[in-house]
Amino acid sequence: DEIVKMTELDLKTIDAIAVAKGPGSFTGLRIGSATAKGLGLALDKPLVGIPTVEALAYNLYDVNGLICPIMDARRKQVYTGLYSFSHEVKDGTHLTEAAFHVEEQQMAIAVEELISKLNAYKRPVVFLGDGVPVFTAYIEENCKVPYSFAPAHVNKQRAAAVAALGEEYYKAGKLESAEEHKPEYLRLSQAERERMEQHGNS
């Protein structure tokens, strides 16, 4: 309500609602999804579910090389994906707008496996996300390709990146109904893992 008042926005005029659909904090994802679903149902508007790691990569719009967001998933694992941007030359002199490419979909993997993947790509890479300070030492010791770390002001999740990528996906028709939308956790919660361990995975 406060944002609507501040921006003098009529919610009925929006086209869709972009929401980060995960991975991330289980509670945070549920709250975000419930809010987006509620608005979508009330306004009869579609949702654009944005993978959290893709939105994080979109912070680095139009950088060269691979973009590798890493979110600390604990247990020496990261939530990650691999992304890049490209251009085409138009009219012989002008570049088209940067096109966002998903090289590898978001996943939960061991940091060792991620660095092995990056070494196999043999392309420069930029790291960002809350996993950077956790795994900096490992990256420095094991990454064989040229790499760098994103500066602090674009290193974390930003709602603006979710919205900007949401607009692109809306134009591409990547929509879902409020009823269809659900978070993507990528891993079981700690409570679910502990319950499975107690019951012998049954």
The predicted-structure confidence for 41-99, as pLDDT tens digits, reads as follows: 999 999 999 999 999 999 999 999 999 999 999 989 999 999 999 988 787 788 888 99
How many residues belong to the chain? 202
Burial class (CB in 10 A: 0-12, 13-18, 19+), 81: buried
Residue 146 has pLDDT above 70, yes or no: yes
Residue type, 170: Y
Q: How far apart are the C-alpha atoms of 93 and 84, rounded to whole Å?
A: 22
The predicted-structure confidence for 97-145, as pLDDT tens digits, reads as follows: 899 999 999 999 999 999 999 999 999 999 999 999 999 999 999 999 9
Q: What is the mean pLDDT of the chain?
A: 93
- Return the residue matching tokens 């994080």: 56
